Amino acid sequence: MVQFDSNKRTINPIFFIALGLFGLYTIEFGIVGILPTITERFNVSTSQAGLLVGMFALVVALLGPFMVLLLSKYNRKHVLVMSLLIFSASSLLSAYTSNFYILLALRMIPALFHPVYFSMAFVAASSLYPKEKATQASAKAFVGTSMGMVLGIPITTYIVDQFSFEASFIFCALVNAAASVGIAFMLPKTSKAEKVSYGEQLSILRKVPLWINIGAATFIFAAMFSVYSYSAEYLKQVMGMSGEVISVLLVIFGVGGVVGNLLAGKLIGINKVRTTVFHPILLALTFILLYLGATSIVPVIVIMVLWGAAHTSGLIVTQIWLTAEAPEAPEFANGLYISFINLGVSIGSLVAGWFLTASGMKGTIWSGLLFIILALVCIAIKILYENQKGREKMLLPPSDKPSVNR
């Protein structure tokens, strides 16, 4: 393992890893902020423009693990730099295309490499620190993810409003290009480790606990995006906020998210199980506060900070909870993670839409709470499973216990 002493350099390589994650998630979610411009520019319907979001998530969910598996045998640093340059090039080409379907095709290219960069970025970040600080390293890298998810939409919307359609894509291209240069020069070279074969990586799919954790992560993301997908409309319809105030509140949400993410990284390093159990409970509490509603600005700000912290910390909590079951194949496990959480995003948004139709905007809260219950059931099953395995191991006679060769 290469360990990095952050006191010896001004700029930590994790900064560039996080910058790449910010650029990647701005590509994925930032398009939402400019959909009205796209419908006008390319003369397409809103539902057609929505394919730019839906197809991106679908490609990640369906092909993510396979792309990670395919590229896992190559040098990690080289793959990270290559992925970022692909993100940059596709953004630059998107800025100047005049055909909607070419734009759609250009969106599919970064979608293919999204899980590759994501998976290898967190393995690279963890390798920079001692094992006991790996979760804190992941939390620092996740700052880029959370900022991209939360601020990608308002940033691209602002750039289009103030400058041009092309400028929003050029911004994404520059961010990813800067991250690629930073990683190329700042990320230390790792000692050549023995590559895990495809068969050994695929063997983790036989692990029952892994699938239970996949279920928990999927349901937590379904809960998160049941409510977050409709956040702007919820703040407008239920809490009576104006458009300008909503923009500010979403930035406050993002600030709360960064703090919550870093705090969760420390807590999960202290006690993984307790933090994983506590997270969905905290998320449920924020949903209940949203359901009760508030109209004065101070309580709303408090709710947004708590919601942002609970929502964004779900990234690090679910990633550590899932990938901890497959330390022998970290890249492939992260590929599975990004695939299933994207599936969770799609499921949550869809089911919340049904609840919204049936019982109004507050129905999205009921959708979120339903998925939280399902996530807690998965977490409880996992804990009971591990406890049962532990008891069975303790009951084995000494002759049946596995010996340790010294």
Whether the CB-CB separation of 196 and 329 falls below 8 Å is answered with yes
What is the second-level CATH architecture of the domain 207-397?
Up-down Bundle (1.20)
Tens of pLDDT, residues 85-123: 999 999 999 999 999 999 999 999 999 999 899 888 878
Q: What's the pLDDT score for residue 343?
A: 86
**Closest CA relative to residue 116, chosen from 144, 137, 153, 86:** 86
Report the mean per-residue pLDDT for the chain: 83
Indicate the Cα dihedral angle 278, 279, 280, 286, nearest 10°: 110
Does the fold of domain 207-397 match that of domain 11-187? Answer: yes
CA distance to 70, 120, 308, 343, per residue, from 64 (Å): 10, 12, 27, 11
Lowest average pLDDT, out of 155-159, 180-184, 331-335, 387-391, goes to: 387-391
- With 90 as the cut, is the pLDDT of residue 278 above it? yes
Q: What's the pLDDT score for residue 87?
A: 94
Q: What's the pLDDT score for residue 181?
A: 95
What are the extents of the domains in the chain? Answer: 11-187, 207-397
Confidence of residue 14 (pLDDT cuts 50, 70, 90): confident
Q: What's the pLDDT score for residue 117?
A: 92
Q: Which two tokens stand for residue 134?
A: 């790996």
Confidence of residue 243 (pLDDT cuts 50, 70, 90): low
Angle at 318 between CA 284 and CA 384, to 5 degrees: 80
Tens of pLDDT, residues 134-189: 676 777 777 777 778 777 777 887 888 888 889 999 999 999 999 999 999 988 87
Give the C-alpha separation, 47 to 378, whole Å: 35
The label of the residue with tokens 């599975």 reads 336
Give the C-alpha separation, 101 to 392, whole Å: 57
Give the C-alpha separation, 139 to 145, whole Å: 10
What is the second-level CATH architecture of the domain 11-187?
Up-down Bundle (1.20)
Q: What's the pLDDT score for residue 393?
A: 65
